[in-house]
Amino acid sequence: MARFKVFSIGIICFLTLCSVACALILQNHATSVPDRVRLVAVLPVAGKASLHVDNAVLRARFIDALYVRGYPKIPADFIDEVIATSEKEHKVTNATKEVAPRLDDDGAFPYQEWQEALGVDAFLCIDIKESELVGKRFIAFYVLEASLRLIDARTGEELWTSSYRDSDWLMGVNRARLQVDNMVNYGRSLMNMVNFGAGAFPEKRGF
């Protein structure tokens, strides 16, 4: 009995000093981004990342990541203005900018209409399929799943598609530390998703 108590105390001390973690990351580029794509407009993020991360911030990270790879920045405000004008002309309004734009009657976005105003080659669509951030007494975990699509601005054809899924859990007795570590890991996963997506775009130099 004494040995069991000593063993239990040892386990608790170990978990107090550090967290036990397990992660699973599934990344897949189903196709490759065509080299002819030069100008990319990043559309508002569909779905919700989390209560702690604003979709506009996530979108800005994608824009910055593409810029680093040599793709000129198309300001989000300019893109939103074009979309809002299109919505107004069709007498359709959104409750917020960070809601995915409307669909046409045939279920597709009016890409050609936006292309004429923006002059871009393609639109990057980011859809958060699942996002969960949970902290409990002895365990904390998150799940993040998203799909990425690149749409030809002139034809509406899907040029590239990719998927990202990441989950991670932590165990420990310090609940406050677990929650902080879980949020840090979740934020890191979001940036991994951004770098993963942008990494599929061929680098542009001298453009």
CB 181 within 8 A of CB 20: no
91: left (phi over 0), alpha (psi -120 to 50) or beta: left
133-171 pLDDT, tens per residue? 787 778 888 888 999 999 999 888 899 999 999 888 788
Measured distance CA(144)–CA(82) in Å, rounded: 30
Confidence of residue 2 (pLDDT cuts 50, 70, 90): low
Most confident option among 27-36, 87-96, 99-108, 123-132 = 123-132
31-79 pLDDT, tens per residue? 678 888 999 999 999 987 766 678 899 999 999 999 999 999 999 999 9
Closest CA to 98 of 110, 84, 88: 84
pLDDT for res 1:
54
What's the gap between Cα 82 and its chain centre?
A: 22
Domain boundaries, the chain: 20-198
Q: Residue 105 pLDDT more than 70?
A: no
Tell how strand 122-135 and strand 40-42 pair up: parallel
Task: Please state the pTM of the whole predicted model.
Answer: 0.76
* Angle at 94 (CA atoms; ends 92, 97), nearest 5 degrees: 135
Measured distance CA(37)–CA(71) in Å, rounded: 9
Bridge partners of 142? 133, 168
Question: What amino acid is encoded at 38 in this protein?
Answer: R
Measured distance CA(82)–CA(76) in Å, rounded: 10
Q: Residue 124 pLDDT more than 80?
A: yes
pLDDT for res 206:
60
- Which percentage of the chain shows pLDDT scores above 70? 72
CB 174 within 8 A of CB 17: no
Count of positions (residues) in the chain: 207
Q: Residue 13 pLDDT more than 50?
A: no
Closest CA to 149 of 120, 127, 166: 127
What is the helix (H) or strand (E) element at residue 170, kind and residue range?
Answer: strand 158-171
Measured distance CA(176)–CA(99) in Å, rounded: 33
Measured distance CA(114)–CA(132) in Å, rounded: 33
Q: Residue 21 pLDDT more than 60?
A: no
| CB neighbourhood size of 162 (10 A) | 21
- Decide which of 3.40.50.300, 2.60.120.260, 3.40.50.10610, 3.40.50.970 is the CATH code for 20-198: 3.40.50.10610
